[in-house]
Amino acid sequence: MRGKLPIPPWKDVGIFSRKDMYEMSLTPGGLIACLRRGHGYFRRLSTYNNLHLLNGLTFSSTNGFPVLTAYNGPTDFVFHPIKAWNKRLGNNYGIHGFGEDKDLESYYWQRLEQTTARIKDCQLLIAPDFSLFVDPWLNTFNRFQVFKSRVVCALWQACGLPAVPLVSWGNVDSFEYCLEGLPMDSVLAFSATSCHHCKGAWNLWKYAVITVVNTLHPTHLIIYGDPHLEIPVDLPVTIIGDYIHDKLREL
């Protein structure tokens, strides 16, 4: 079967900003109208798999991950999970992409267009942290998880929204692909919720952080986890308290 992907509204930006072009293209339901053209099975297939959102993005040569641009704007916001998008959060807030995979899959992949329309006025967005695994036979699955996170962040950036790229990894071998497409000299985000499971998990996390810093030279780190976490690098850091530690502080 052959088909042609539609042209996104941010492909040719003239007198309007990318965000202006994105907002003008939205339907009342939060969908990008010009990307839903076409007929029959190919249109249904492309929208079901978010393929219709890929046209106009730039991809890496090895694994075909979307290539992200650097973000170096403000980071001093109050961050909330995606499930809080419809609450009155005030003006100084961001949405982070950490949480349970069922929520991330539902909001960020199955309803990516609608979710983007709902959170487009947030001060800062952090790309979703789809889970990766350390089992070597799951590397193909891990690559797809990385791909999904990159697609979400690349779409936001293409729409002119402030978005921080996320770094995620599985085992040591995953560093053959997990940094591909990420920008140099940028604010980067990642999770630290699993680093205290055992000594091996802590050593892997420290190795990952040092590798990320030495490879990508980030300007600032946003870390989701324990506010008292020991950071093995000397960089400005913003800690977003994870759900468990936040609940413990309330006791």
Say if CB 14 and CB 24 are below 8 A apart. no
| Greater model confidence, 17 or 153 | 153
Same domain for 99 and 190: yes
- State the distance between the two ends of the chain, measured CA to CA, in whole angstroms: 58
Same domain for 207 and 122: yes
Same domain for 214 and 101: yes
Same domain for 72 and 49: no
| Greater model confidence, 43 or 213 | 213
Say if CB 46 and CB 38 are below 8 A apart. yes
Q: Which of 86, 128, 76, 87 is nearest to 104 (CA)?
A: 128
Say if CB 125 and CB 163 are below 8 A apart. yes
The pTM of the full predicted model, rounded to 2 decimals, is 0.87
The answer, yes or no, to whether residue 39 has pLDDT greater than 70, is: no
Exposure of 97 in the CB half-sphere (CA atoms within 13 A): 34
pLDDT tens-place string over residues 80-113? 999 888 776 667 889 999 999 999 999 999 999 9
Same domain for 152 and 31: no
Same domain for 146 and 46: no
Same domain for 42 and 78: no
Number of domains in the chain: 2
Domain span at residue 148 reads 62-250
Alpha helices in the chain (DSSP H): 18-24, 40-48, 101-104, 112-119, 139-158, 199-216, 243-250
Residue range 193-198: mean pLDDT, rounded: 80
Same domain for 90 and 52: no
The answer, yes or no, to whether residue 115 has pLDDT greater than 80, is: yes
Same domain for 66 and 13: no
Using the 3D structure, point to which of 11, 29, 56 is the last residue of a domain. 56
Using the 3D structure, point to which of 56, 71, 98 is the last residue of a domain. 56
**CA dihedral defined by 75, 78, 84, 85, rounded to 10 degrees?**
-50
Same domain for 80 and 98: yes
